[in-house]
Structure 1
Amino acid sequence: MPYGQAKEILEYAREFHRKAGAYYQKLSCQTQSARVKLLLDYLVRHEKHLEKTLSDYEQSIATKALNSWYQFSQDQRTFQPLDSLSYSEEMTVDEIIKSGTTIDNCLIASYKGMADTATSAEIREIFENLLAMEEQEKHVKARIALGINDM
């Protein structure tokens, strides 16, 4: 089983949000649909917000907890590469919502796996907080996406 520090996992999650934002930006530049572009532009901003939120959260955590070593299995760190998501210039709002849900579920599964196997209360709390944040953000994103879809 590989080892890593909690701060490395947070850095990886920030990078994941940065890549998700770039993924949505690429789609936004390619689409011809005003509704799809509206949704994608929102998702770009949303991913930037989450990336900054993780950075701010990391600043609020005790250095000792961030530097704690953490043992995890590869299947617990399920931040799947975004390259596996297919996209085209003609994606619909529903297809983008499905893609966004895949991204959200990936992070939720990762944080849940890390929280479930944490060896200390401090580490468990970090990943439980991230899990709660990601679940809440998934619901917010879904409501906004459905609102755009109903336009």
Structure 2
Amino acid sequence: MKVETIFDLIEWSRKLHGSLAKCLSHCASLHQNERASLLLEYLASHEAEIEKIVAGFEQQADPRAARTYVYDYMPHNPITTHLDCDDHYAKMDATSIETEVVDFHEQIISLYRTLIEKAEIPEVTELVQSLLDMEEHETKRLVRQIGRMDDM
């Protein structure tokens, strides 16, 4: 998807989380290791939840900020995480899955921070800051929950 405006960025982020949720869910049913399968199921539900949260930003975004062009500020390939669902996660151990999914979130966080630094109008800064805050909060929650799974 080509990201030209803040609205495109929000839609792109929502689709990334949704695609990841579907892939993780698909791979959960294929994984041979029970712990990894449970982790994949949890991660899939968490990503689906984030997809819904991001969809809320699409509905609530200030139209002036949402129509602001960002293509000059976006890297051409902003996320390097494995995005094709080809049973990739079904072949990984739980630690590798956790590392890759957390890295996915860290890349989105880094992108939002870059956009905040380059934002020229306060409405854009505020909107992207809200996205950043949500992404950071959800990533922390994800890491805490995974840590609890490891304690079991």
What is the CA–CA distance in structure 2 between the aligned matches of 1:88 and 1:24, rounded to whole Å? 7
Deviates more, 1:123-132 or 1:59-68: 59-68
Query: What is the letter of the counterpart of residue 118 of structure 1?
Result: A
Tell me the CA shift for residue 26 of structure 1: 2.9
Matched, 1:29 2:29: yes
Shift in CA distance, 117/77, structure 1 to aligned 2, threshold 3 Å = farther
Query: What is the letter of the counterpart of residue 67 of structure 2?
Result: N
Q: Identity of counterpart residues, as a percentage?
A: 22
Matched, 1:6 2:12: no
Query: Post-superposition, which runs of at least 4 consecutive aligned residues in structure 1 deviate over 3 A?
Result: 83-90
Where do residues 1-151 of structure 1 align in structure 2 (5 Å cutoff)?
Answer: 4-75=4-75, 78-83=78-83, 87=88, 89-151=90-152
Secondary structure at the aligned position of 1:70 is classed as: coil
Consecutive unaligned residues in structure 1, runs of 5 or more: none
Secondary structure at the aligned position of 1:4 is classed as: coil
Shift in CA distance, 11/31, structure 1 to aligned 2, threshold 3 Å = same
What is the CA–CA distance in structure 2 between the aligned matches of 1:146 and 1:126, rounded to whole Å? 30
Shift in CA distance, 76/128, structure 1 to aligned 2, threshold 3 Å = farther
CA RMSD across the alignment: 2.4
Tell me the CA shift for residue 70 of structure 1: 2.9
Aligned residues: 150
TM-score w.r.t. structure 1 length? 0.86
Consecutive unaligned residues in structure 2, runs of 5 or more: none
Secondary structure at the aligned position of 2:92 is classed as: coil
For each residue in 1:43-84, what CA deviation from the matched residue of structure 2 results, as whole angstroms up to 9, or x when unmatched?
111111111101112212222221222343442861335248
